[in-house]
Structure 1
Amino acid sequence: MADWAEEWLAHAATHVRPRTHEEYTRWVKIYITPYIGRIKLEKLMGREVQALLDKLAASHRPRVAQLTRVTLGMMMNHALELGVLHRSPVQSTRAPKSEKRPMSIWTPEQARTFLGQLRGHRLESAFYLAITTGMRKGEILGLRWSDLERDRLHVRQSVAVVSGVVRADGPKTQTSRRTILLTPDIVAQLERRRAAWQEEKDHAETWEGDYILSGKGGGPMSPHNFDTVWQRERAQSGLPQIRFHDLRHTYATLALARGADIATLSERLGHADSSITLKVYVHVLDEQKKRLNLSLDDLLGGASSSATTDEAG
């Protein structure tokens, strides 16, 4: 299995992003080869895989077992495609279910409070974009001025740390490559950032690149440095301690509550399919359904009973 894992990783490197490949490699080395690396590929049985999944769920958490099953599944599917195996030992296994963690979001008042605290901050526009567009952190850090076209923002790349190096790569999925229509307040926010960016550039000894949220010398800002700022500002705000990714959930939840349709929201978020948006935000849609559960009096403003009486008379 150890040898097959290396062969699969070499194959995966040709068609996934470097960051994704780094994650695959880390997962294989930590959760797969130490446990079943000595078993021959053709000798691996479903019971060994199931035993591994159960062990990981008990010693770590169910999510680790779930992702291990997914990774093993991809490894076995590659063996099936090449005719090395005729049946995947992963098919007969089940990863334990994990309890779904309640989604953490900020209310409109909390989001407004946080943005008010950041007024004039160098990274204000980053948090503004997260809350008003639902963009991912890597996508925001990957934005360049060449991606801004009047009231349209083109998401073309994402910034991540790969093997200790900050680098820009294609977005998460093909549908993540998208164009976001901006409201006038977002455009104004970005224009203020452009003025500050130009001043930074004018005073720098060397400058390369046109990243909106530039790091030293004009290159992309390190996600680690960005996280440091986010964690500090979040702590100082006194607001509920949510993750940065929860700002994306905050945007989507508030947009749905305001009547945004699923198809448009899914496209704006860069989801591969509207079904993903439905699955993630089903709780918001349930609340909308409750509000639409209206009686005739609710719909007609209390006129139903008198109208019925008049017709009967």
Structure 2
Amino acid sequence: MRQPKPWYRAALDAWYVEHHGKQVRLGDHPADFPPPKKSKSGWLPPPPILDAFYKLMATDPANLPKTDKLVVRMLCELFLEHSHTHHAGVTYDNYKHFLQSFTDAYGTLLAADIKPFHVSRWLDDNPSWKGGRRHAIIAVKSAYSWADLQGVLSPNPLRKVKAGRANRRTRILTPEEVAEIVGAIRDTAFKRFVQALLETGCRPSEVARVRAEHVDLAAGVWRLPEHKTAKKTHKPRVVYLTPAMVELSRTLAAEQPNGPLFRGPRKKTPFTRQAIRCRFLRLRAKLPHLKHFVCYNVRHTYATNALVNGVGVAQVAELLGHTSTEMVSSTYGHLAEQVQHMRDAARKAISGGA
């Protein structure tokens, strides 16, 4: 049987392939690539279209490789295709980040030959991940567990690998430290990004994804369709804005009516995960006494301050975009229980017990 090949339909400016007797659309011709060309052997698809074609072929049950031929690269590609459809964008991006690294290290090895030793060696070769080690393990275990459940690879050779417990972001920023951090940022673009983190308590990925169409100035909120819990709640993440954030959103929406609102200072490109990480690395270099400060400390500080100021656990969970109070209670529960006691103590300190 002849191998199907992608072909270009000029009337729709799109690429197709004949698959099981049906024409399957692979995607529009990418605007940043030269016009489609045809050689003697057929059309020459651009890389993004080839990627879509290979993914289609890889996920066809008739084309699934046998266990004795399934390499790590193929397993990861199959899982990422599943993740792209069934997981939130931020979850998919996280899996893709770590699985790309795992594939770079072991992509040509048979998936069944991977041992816990390989995972340990891979982690040791990436010491900069630190707290990210747990997420790296989860990404690889998720791919292998999915392959096992789908009958692609069984038994799962990594089923006994432990991800370990998550490290708590216990570092809270003082008002003086916040002022230092903001003061150390030279460009307006990144200062706006950090301001959004400070005033909304959002995850960095959420701020990076905000677009003009997500901004409801009348209600004073962002409504984010793509977020960490979107697949679970089937609802947009509502971010409640302070007056200052409403005005900043108004300004940015006027400046960037299309695409993400928050962009870098030079080429006006959106803030990526790597770009955010690099900017915070530079901040730590400028402020060596805050060498353990990471981006997520801002979110932790926001939640802590909210509880200390008397905001209820349920309301804090809503502000943070959690689906229940479980995460807030487990992380900050001890603090919530102590707030009223400490406020009573503060009152007694100045009133003599009255």
Tell me whether the two structures share a fold, i.e. TM-score over 0.5.
Answer: yes
For the 8 Å contact 2:216–2:222, the answer to whether it is kept is yes
| Amino acid in structure 2 at the alignment position of 1:240 | L
- Find the aligned partners of 1:19 and 1:99 in 2 and give their Cα distance: 19
- Find the aligned partners of 2:116 and 2:190 in 1 and give their Cα distance: 47
- Determine whether 1:213 maps to 2:262: yes
- Find the aligned partners of 1:129 and 1:270 in 2 and give their Cα distance: 15
The counterpart of 1:128, out of the listed 195, 216, 221, is 195
Aligned partner of residue 222 in structure 2, secondary structure: strand
- Find the aligned partners of 2:337 and 2:118 in 1 and give their Cα distance: 37
- Determine whether 1:71 maps to 2:143: no
Deviation string, structure 1 residues 212-245 (Cα, Å, up to 9, x no partner): 4356899753436666666656765787342233
- Find the aligned partners of 1:261 and 1:137 in 2 and give their Cα distance: 24
Normalising by structure 2, we get a TM-score of: 0.57
The counterpart of 1:172, out of the listed 222, 228, 234, is 228
Match of 1:8 in 2: 79
Report which of the two has the higher share of helix: 1
Aligned pair count?
Answer: 269
- Determine whether 1:248 maps to 2:299: yes
- Determine whether 1:109 maps to 2:180: no
Structure 2 stretches lacking a partner, 5+ long: 1-69
Deviation string, structure 1 residues 80-120 (Cα, Å, up to 9, x no partner): 433456654444x2427479466333112332455567799
- Find the aligned partners of 1:63 and 1:230 in 2 and give their Cα distance: 15
- Determine whether 1:149 maps to 2:217: yes
- Find the aligned partners of 1:278 and 1:185 in 2 and give their Cα distance: 29
In structure 2, the CA distance between the partners of 1:264 and 1:87, relative to structure 1 (3 Å rule), is farther
- Determine whether 1:38 maps to 2:110: yes
Structure 1 stretches lacking a partner, 5+ long: 158-169, 202-206, 304-313
- Determine whether 1:187 maps to 2:246: yes
- Find the aligned partners of 1:155 and 1:87 in 2 and give their Cα distance: 43
Q: CA deviation at 1:142?
A: 2.7
- Find the aligned partners of 1:225 and 1:60 in 2 and give their Cα distance: 18
In structure 2, the CA distance between the partners of 1:250 and 1:33, relative to structure 1 (3 Å rule), is same
In structure 2, the CA distance between the partners of 1:215 and 1:113, relative to structure 1 (3 Å rule), is closer
Q: Which moved more, 1:131-140 or 1:18-27?
A: 18-27
- Find the aligned partners of 1:12 and 1:248 in 2 and give their Cα distance: 26
- Find the aligned partners of 1:86 and 1:221 in 2 and give their Cα distance: 41
CA RMSD of aligned residues (A): 4.5
Deviation string, structure 1 residues 253-296 (Cα, Å, up to 9, x no partner): 211221222222122112344322333435644654873898xx
- Find the aligned partners of 2:279 and 2:98 in 1 and give their Cα distance: 29
Normalising by structure 1, we get a TM-score of: 0.62
In structure 2, the CA distance between the partners of 1:185 and 1:238, relative to structure 1 (3 Å rule), is farther
In structure 2, the CA distance between the partners of 1:284 and 1:109, relative to structure 1 (3 Å rule), is farther
In structure 2, the CA distance between the partners of 1:284 and 1:108, relative to structure 1 (3 Å rule), is farther
- Find the aligned partners of 2:162 and 2:141 in 1 and give their Cα distance: 12
In structure 2, the CA distance between the partners of 1:239 and 1:258, relative to structure 1 (3 Å rule), is farther
